[in-house]
Amino acid sequence: MYAFYRHEPVFLVIEHDGEKINMIKFITEEKYWQHQALELADNFTNRIKEVMNGYFDGSIKNLELPHILNGTEFENQVWEKTKAVPFGEKSSYADIAKAMGKPDSARAVGNALNKNPIPIIVPCHRIVGSDGELHGFAGGLEVKQWLLEHEEEHKG
């Protein structure tokens, strides 16, 4: 099943089985309007939208929605460390590698985050380069910057 969500400039399709989210993908505004009719309203879709609304209005700091993460052991470790980065804070690929006890694996951390199936829940937008610069993001660097600014504004 699919839930479609928008909070400009963010447009998402969220795939779920009625109980757990297994994929979140950034889409264009055009695709959002073309495909939102595919959404079937159910209790879990409504819950997803309720939590997303809270995140985007700043009242919910962490998206605690049931989800599935299927990755390698290394990817799962990266994703768990990334989930630990607090709302409104940033960390670097090198910081995540060090937190995992693998200080020379910053590039591998970046590769694992590139495969993150549930961005925002696994907040890979909070991970930046050691120089503080923004690097790749599935939603585009403008959306990554917007998400960081949104969290900074609402971290309270």
Task: Write the DSSP string, 68-107.
Answer: -----HHHHHHHHHHHTSPTT--EEHHHHHHHTT-TT-HH
Can 1 be counted among the known catalytic residues? Answer: no
Measured at the CA of 63, the angle between CA 105 and CA 65, to 5 degrees, comes to: 105
Handedness of CA 95, 143, 26, 123 (dihedral sign): positive
pLDDT tens-digit readout, 41-90: 899 999 999 999 999 999 999 888 999 999 999 999 999 999 999 999 99
Which residue out of 96, 118, 124, 127 is catalytically annotated? 124
pLDDT tens-digit readout, 97-142: 999 999 999 999 999 999 999 999 999 999 999 999 999 899 999 9
Q: Write down all domains in the chain, each with its CATH number in brackets.
A: 2-57 (no CATH), 73-154 (1.10.10.10)
d(CA 114, CA 75): 10
